[in-house]
Chain A
């Protein structure tokens, strides 16, 4: 059987020891054990179900453990049209998640409102919460969702351990009126 294991980060290796930076180790651990919280409201959610199932298999990326409690989730996956009435619970879910947290907007509706240019629909979730990765498509194929997920993994792996305490991050939170 061909099993590929995650490659170890760059470091100094010798007999009986391996030294690298803490950030790299933590990044490696985080990116390969992301717990997603699916916030599926419409057809993109159906694509997500396919993504999670055996054929596309999100477990390959260490993300088979869906968290239905925002308190134990790392990644908020918003899939589908968000009505303005739904914006309030969505925002609440985001605020309940513990740092560090990431957000992926799957599909045209979550990213921009999509075809629903109407008074009752939120024109993109980035009006209420910060978004890390956007996946285009109406709905996107599972491959696209996986690609978006891998982009998130890249961000998670490279993130500096101090980013959440940085001024830049505080500015983002301020822009969305989120209390840190």
Chain B
């Protein structure tokens, strides 16, 4: 079956969620910036609507743009329609002071660990997640290490001269 044209996807989404589709870009795949309060509903609609049928969650991850005031933290979802081989990317941004978004685990069970990972590295609180705790890092870790304010390098070492190690 041929891929679903991007215009049709957008038309359908805009008809259903007139206020919530904020931006649409064609950046290697069709990318939509959406209202973070509507993310679960939008993903559910994309899943359930017969003609769209995005029934596979390819990936989910966090974003951090410290200069984007009021929308520093983002969550990114890539969905796939396996029958027509159509892909779509959704992004939702939220302020760093209150990084909260609905969990998509009611639609995709596979989001469970991916949301835990995103919480672990970016500190995004997924509301409604059944078991939101760290998954890869030490439970005692106090920071969200992939946020830009935290240095990548290990700071406990004294033997590495900054001059040679590019710090």
By a beta-carbon cutoff of 8 Å, the part of chain A in contact with chain B is 84-85, 113, 117-121, 123, 127
Give complex CA distance A127, B156 in Å: 10
* Chain A to chain B contacts (Cβ below 8 Å), 17 pairs: A84-B137, A84-B138, A85-B138, A117-B154, A117-B157, A117-B160, A118-B152, A119-B145, A119-B151, A119-B152, A119-B153, A120-B136, A120-B137, A121-B154, A123-B154, A123-B156, A127-B156
Chain A contacts of B160 at CB under 8 A? 117
**CB–CB A123/B157 < 8 A:** yes
Q: How many residues of B contact A (CB 8 A)?
A: 13
Return the chain A residue nearest B167 by Cβ: A117
- New contact pairs (15) apart from A117-B165, A118-B154, CB-CB < 8 Å: A84-B137, A84-B138, A85-B136, A117-B153, A117-B154, A117-B157, A119-B145, A119-B150, A119-B152, A119-B154, A120-B136, A120-B137, A120-B145, A123-B154, A123-B157
**CB–CB B150/A113 < 8 A:** no
Chain A contacts of B145 at CB under 8 A? 119-120
Give complex CA distance A119, B153 in Å: 6
Could you tell me which residues of chain B, from 127 to 167, have a CB within 8 Å of some CB in chain A?
A: 136-138, 145, 150-154, 156-157, 160, 165
Interface centre among A113, A117, A118 (most CB of B within 10 A): A117
A13: shortest Cβ distance to chain B, in Å?
Answer: 51
Chain B contacts of A123 at CB under 8 A? 154, 156-157
A114: shortest Cβ distance to chain B, in Å?
Answer: 12
